[in-house]
């Protein structure tokens, strides 16, 4: 009887600690999304499957531990920063381009800069995450990207960028709040 009581108390303690942690994290992500001042640093890039990416994997150029559908970004500089209605980013791009993206781009990364358009935030109560969709233009060309950003209470982020000029790519990372220095 004592062991049953012990296990019952142990389970009750575990469940109550999980519930309190969840509400704290939900409040934290809610605060980040409402202020609309955040930074995302990605650890993984997931390019769309294509013949070109498969050929790249077969060539051995992707490096150890990487594949055509999963590329480790740890140690590679990357970010996406939203400050109110403006965005800046540098994200390495792995994938195929359908057409010429324009002159002036000095590298193959995705560099967004400027105003965010059509910014929509939706809370999914069943799955417990925010979905943010928006559009932004690249820094050096007029390439327009559609973005879908999913933010979870544990601060994990999934950012999918698509453009008519390239295959889509997803970045997996962590979101953190940027503190507005002008309001203090």
**Does position 15 have pLDDT exceeding 70, yes or no?**
no
User: What is the count of structural domains for the chain?
Assistant: 1
Residue 92 sits in a domain whose CATH number is 2.40.128.410
Tens of pLDDT, residue by residue over 80-104, are 999 999 999 999 999 888 776 555 5
Q: Among 121, 131, 177, which Cα is nearest to 152's?
A: 131
What is residue 58's predicted lDDT score, i.e. its pLDDT? 84
Q: Is residue 4 part of a domain?
A: no
Question: How many residues appear in the chain?
Answer: 184
- For residue 23, name the pLDDT band (cuts at 50, 70, 90): very low
Tens of pLDDT, residue by residue over 56-83, are 888 888 888 888 889 999 989 999 999 9
- The proportion of the chain whose per-residue pLDDT surpasses 70, expressed as a percent, equals 79
Segment 105-124 mean pLDDT: 88
Half-sphere exposure of 169 (CA within 13 A, CB side): 23
What is residue 25's predicted lDDT score, i.e. its pLDDT? 58
User: How many CB atoms are located within 10 Å of the residue 84 CB?
Assistant: 12
Q: Is residue 38 part of a domain?
A: yes
What is residue 5's predicted lDDT score, i.e. its pLDDT? 55
Q: Is residue 40 part of a domain?
A: yes
What is residue 140's predicted lDDT score, i.e. its pLDDT? 80
What is residue 22's predicted lDDT score, i.e. its pLDDT? 46
Range of the domain at 144: 26-179
């Amino acid at each position: 009887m004592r062991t049953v009581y012990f296990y019952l108390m142990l389970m009750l303690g575990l469940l109550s600690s999980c519930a309190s942690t969840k509400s704290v994290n939900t409040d934290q992500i809610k605060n980040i999304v409402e202020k609309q001042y955040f930074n995302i640093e990605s650890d993984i890039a997931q390019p769309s499957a294509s013949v070109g990416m498969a050929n790249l994997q077969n060539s051995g150029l992707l490096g150890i531990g990487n594949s055509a559908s999963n590329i480790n970004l740890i140690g590679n500089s990357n970010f996406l920063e939203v400050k109110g209605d403006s965005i800046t980013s540098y994200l390495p791009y792995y994938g195929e381009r359908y057409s010429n993206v324009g002159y002036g781009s000095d590298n193959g990364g995705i560099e967004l800069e400027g105003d965010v358009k059509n910014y929509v935030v939706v809370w999914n109560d069943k799955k417990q995450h925010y979905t943010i969709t928006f559009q932004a233009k690249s820094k050096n060309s007029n390439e327009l990207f559609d973005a879908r950003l999913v933010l979870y209470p544990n601060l994990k982020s999934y950012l999918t960028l698509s453009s008519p000029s390239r295959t889509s790519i997803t970045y997996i990372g962590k979101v953190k709040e940027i503190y507005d220095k002008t309001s203090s």
